[in-house]
Amino acid sequence: MTTYPEVPSGPGATRQVLADSPDLMVVAFRFQAGGEGALHDHPHVQATYVQSGRFAFTVDGRDFEVGPGDSFVIPSGVRHGCRALEDGVLIDTFTPRRDDFL
């Protein structure tokens, strides 16, 4: 089992790989209130689970808010990003693994 460090991932945010294999990766994103995940896209399918906090998301041009216990899937290639409305943690899974995070 490999332990990965927590690294900066954007203004007011860090990420830490929790587990990975070539087919799947689990990552914790920790945000301070006001922290941002810039709009971006990638070829990976992403599932997001809100462990704590509240977030404003934009996914494929649609805006919505999520809170603890909410989850959703972002299809491959869809532009998305978020802003933390309060301190919080997102648990994201990616398939296949995001090699750029290793």
> In sequence order, what are the residues at sequence separation of 6 or more whose Cβ sits closer than 8 angstroms to the Cβ of residue 67?
50, 53, 54, 55
Query: What is the signed CA dihedral for 53, 6, 3, 94, rounded to 10 degrees?
Result: 60
Q: From the CB of residue 35, how many other CB atoms can be counted at a distance below 10 Å? A: 22
Q: Is residue 90 part of a domain?
A: yes
89 close to 68: Cβ distance less than 8 angstroms: no
pLDDT for residue 100: 96
Q: Is residue 89 part of a domain?
A: yes
* Domain enclosing residue 67, as ranges: 22-94
> What's the pLDDT tens digit per position in 20-70?
999 999 999 999 999 999 999 999 999 999 999 999 999 999 999 999 999
> What's the pLDDT tens digit per position in 91-100?
999 999 999 9
Q: Is residue 67 part of a domain?
A: yes
Structure tokens at 95: 């398939």
Which CATH number belongs to the domain containing residue 80 in this structure? 2.60.120.10
Q: Is residue 52 part of a domain?
A: yes
Q: Is residue 51 part of a domain?
A: yes
Q: How confident is the model at residue 75 (pLDDT cuts 50, 70, 90)?
A: very high
pLDDT exceeds 90 at position 2: no
Q: Is residue 81 part of a domain?
A: yes
Q: What are phi and psi of 100, to 5 degrees?
A: -65, -15
Average pLDDT score, the chain: 97
Domain count, the chain: 1
